[in-house]
Amino acid sequence: MEKVGLFLCTGCEIGAAIKTDEFEDLAKENGASSFVSHPCLCSEKGAALIHKAVEAGEVNGVLIAACSSREKKDVFSFEKRSVVCQRVDLREQVAWSHKPQDEDTQLLAEDLLRMGLARVGKMELPKPLEEEIDQTVLVVGGGLAGLTAAKAASNLGHPVVLVEKNEQPGGYLRGLRDMYPAHPPYDSLQANEIADLIAEIEADSSVRVLCGSTVKHIAGQPGQFDVEVQTAAGTQKLKAGAIVQATGASPYDAGRLAHLGYGKSPAVITTQQLSDMLLAGKLTCPGSGKAPDRMVFIQCAGSRDADHLPYCSGECCAATLAQVAVIHRDYPDTQCMVVYRDMRTPGQMEHFYLGVQEQSGCMFTRGEVDQVSVSDTLEVKVRDSLLGKDATLPADMVILAVGMVPNAADGESIRELIDAEARIKKNESETQVAAAKELVEKLESHRGTEILNLDYRQGPDLPVLRYNFPDSHYICFPYESRRTGIYAAGALHAPMDIAQAEEDGWGAAMKAVQNIRSNTRGEAVHPRAGDISIADFFLQRCTQCKRCTEECPFGAINEDAKGTPEYNPLRCRRCGICLGACPERIISFPDYSVDSVASMIKAIEVPEEDEEKPRIVAFMCENDALPALDEAAGRRMQWNPWVRIIPVRCLGAVNTVWIADSLSRGVDGVLLIGCKRGDDYQCHYIRGSELANTRMSNVQETLDRLTLESERVRVLELARNEFDRIPEIFEEFAEKIEEVGPNPYKGF
């Protein structure tokens, strides 16, 4: 920007900590066109000074040197398309965290102002994205979560298309007459209300229900999805703005539980098979056809078991309780015995459990079932039982409470399978073909499992996390998936019971509607909600290396046959990971570019070698590391004044050229601080921290080329609540840098 105003606040101890009288000269020398100082910039009068300058067109770039950029957002907000605004955090990063009226504190403040001015100078006004956004929500799956999502989206004024593969909607609940309680007072069986919900949806003119249908293909991006649905009458084409996938879950394959008698005796059945009997109103032992005198229910059949389903499905205990209650009511002569590892009835469901326990003819015991032996009768062998060390329970019928497996397709594995097959066809080398064949064999089970059939370079369905549930940032954004505008709901999303599935349907619909409305305003969704900038690819210099198309965590970039990226801005979350990935440095945002950050690095005044004051650049992620820093400052923790912080969108959005730039300018050490990575990741952009670590091999090459010590660059993970580690992290690194000695590139 060419007309940059520096607006300085001297309140909140800033004026007492640093000398500000020479800042006007500093501002002018570093490109500012105007300078204003105020003792309380966030006051009505202070903020009016900025707004007046903006409205009069005196400035088109605003640099506010005051509190953290996470504070006073409402006061310091401007019509986004008329001005760019950047904040310099003099309160938290200087006044509250450093010795007042100290030379090092003063140098730090001056560097931060120079860095801020350099950055605003390189920022550009974002070009608004004005696309036509379709307001329709596509719901895939017509069980409770899907129907609820359809109802919620329709209530919010959006047209809905619901695609259900069965001939009737209702999903899992169609198979139940009585349900465990999902509403107060949670102490008795509840009538199944799914028929009412189906009737409500069918009567809603905003909802189009396509039963006996599947999704054949989805191309495009949020706001502009082109959907092809295969119906019995042929293919229907439609547009959608956002998608809720609520394809539910299926019972775990009981055929793998032969040790529990399944497949060996027809009288060993699953919870779902018993539900079918109860719905039909006929309880008889399969095989003999007699009414059972004694039924044994085995909980966690294959669940919480590393060889089968390692997780708890979250609803089998409640489902068994409901069946025991129904049998007690309708077949009072039948005894029910439940063998559990733990009865998991969290929250209000405990009332129901206590009530069922009181029923005559019902018995519950804790124990491990190793085996169900099948001869003339069934015998359930229980170990470590409350009935005694070991016990054998005779039964006419055994019911296995098998867990639920999400009806998800693993988009990334399907993509790998397609790629491996392409390599076989290409037949470039014997070794490559052999490796590809091995991979095809390993991934064979994924063939034909597609549900959404997305036309995405990274695979045709939502990526899955552990145990095949479509992943999300379950700590901060539990409804987000790794495909913008597509949300998972219900038992597909996570193990859950009926009440939770209903709530999840509402949640996913809210997210879908939020996405459509954000796109209508041209704004990004979480975590950079409200951001109107989009990435710019200078493709003339693209070498088709595919790093951006492979590394984008949200599948926002497709590629053409030659490998040239095809950017889909409405899929983009503005994380900047592509910018960090691109070796040609041709991806940029109007307010975040390789050049703007490089200019911040250049603006740091690096002391000469004989001054014995090292300089450290810390690239800190705005999602966890910077909030942690603010927290530390708020608690008046003090840290090393040699550190110059550069906020980044994500550690993955750090282009390694910035590390090279820093070191070749004589900066003594570089820290990269981002979110936790791994399976339980907390990285807000899923893979950013992980990618930063992977890219460190390139950094090592830079260090080798410059003949610099590897200790000069360090990557660290920091959770939001680990703010108390910050002073120690900086101090320890500064000590290490002193030990290693000054960067020999100083002064070059």
Backbone angles phi, psi at 54, to 5 degrees: -70, -50
- List 153, 582, 657, 691, residue binding ligand SF4 (CB under 6 A): 582
Q: Which C-beta is closer to ligand SF4: that of 580 or that of 641?
A: 580
Burial of 74 (0-12, 13-18, 19+ CB in 10 A): exposed
User: Residue 557 interacts with ligand SF4 (CB under 6 A)?
Assistant: yes
Task: Give the chain's length.
Answer: 748
Would you say 343 and 317 are in contact if contact means Cβ atoms under 8 Å apart? yes
Binding-site member from 38, 573, 644, 695 for ligand SF4 (CB under 6 A): 573
Q: Is residue 457 part of the contact set for ligand SF4 (CB under 6 A)?
A: no
Work out how close the CB of 486 gets to ligand SF4 at its nearest, in angstroms, rounded to a whole number: 14
Angle, helices 271-280/316-330, rounded to nearest 10 degrees: 30
Instruction: Write down the residue that tokens 């004989």 correspond to.
Output: 610
Q: Which of 201, 199, 220 is nearest to 509 (CA)?
A: 201
Interface with ligand SF4, residue 578, by CB under 6 A? yes
CB of 556 to ligand SF4, least distance (A): 4
Residue choice 492, 556, 617, 651 for contact with ligand SF4 (CB under 6 A)? 556
Of the ranges 257-265, 337-345, 352-360, 550-558, which one interacts with ligand SF4 (CB under 6 A)?
Answer: 550-558
Q: Which stretch binds ligand SF4 (CB under 6 A): 215-223, 459-467, 551-559, 591-599?
A: 551-559
Q: Which is nearer to ligand SF4, 544 or 710 (CB)?
A: 544
Tell me: cis bond preceding 607? Omega within 30 of 0 counts: no
The Cα–Cα gap between 366 and 385 comes to 6
Among 643, 622, 618, CA closest to 716: 618
Which residue in the set 82, 445, 544, 710 belongs to the binding site for ligand SF4 (CB under 6 A)?
Answer: 544
When asked if residue 581 is in the footprint of ligand SF4 (CB under 6 A), the reply is yes
Count of residues of this chain found to bind ligand SF4 when the rule CB under 6 A is applied:
26
> 349, 181 in Cβ contact below 8 A?
yes
* 648 counts as binding ligand SF4 under rule CB under 6 A: no
- Pair of tokens at residue 299: 């909980």
> Does the footprint of ligand SF4 cover residue 683 (CB under 6 A)?
no
User: Of 315 and 412, which CB lies nearer to ligand SF4 in the complex structure?
Assistant: 412
Q: How far apart are CA 687 and CA 121, in angstroms?
A: 31
Q: Which is nearer to ligand SF4, 328 or 457 (CB)?
A: 457
**Does 575 contact ligand SF4 by CB under 6 A?**
yes
Residue nearer to ligand SF4 on the CB measure, 145 or 577:
577
Q: Which residue, among 713, 636, 614, has the nearest Cα to 673 in the 3D structure?
A: 713
**Member of 115, 326, 572, 692 binding ligand SF4 (CB under 6 A):** 572
Does residue 524 bind ligand SF4 (CB under 6 A)? no
Helix (H, G, I), strand (E, B) or coil at 391: strand
Report the amino acid identity of residue 516.
I
Give the containing element (helix H, strand E) for 151: helix 144-155
Cα–Cα–Cα angle for 271, 276, 279, nearest 5°?
A: 120
Q: Give yes or no for a contact between 215 and 244, defined as CB atoms under 8 angstroms apart.
A: no
Q: Of 64-72, 167-175, 217-225, 572-580, which segment contacts ligand SF4 by CB under 6 A?
A: 572-580
Residue 592 or 723 with smaller CB distance to ligand SF4: 592
Q: How far is the CB of 527 from ligand SF4 (least distance, A)?
A: 11
- 554 is a site residue for ligand SF4 (CB under 6 A): yes
Which residues lie near ligand SF4 (CB under 6 A)? 535, 537, 542-548, 552, 554, 556-557, 565, 572-578, 581-582, 584, 586-587
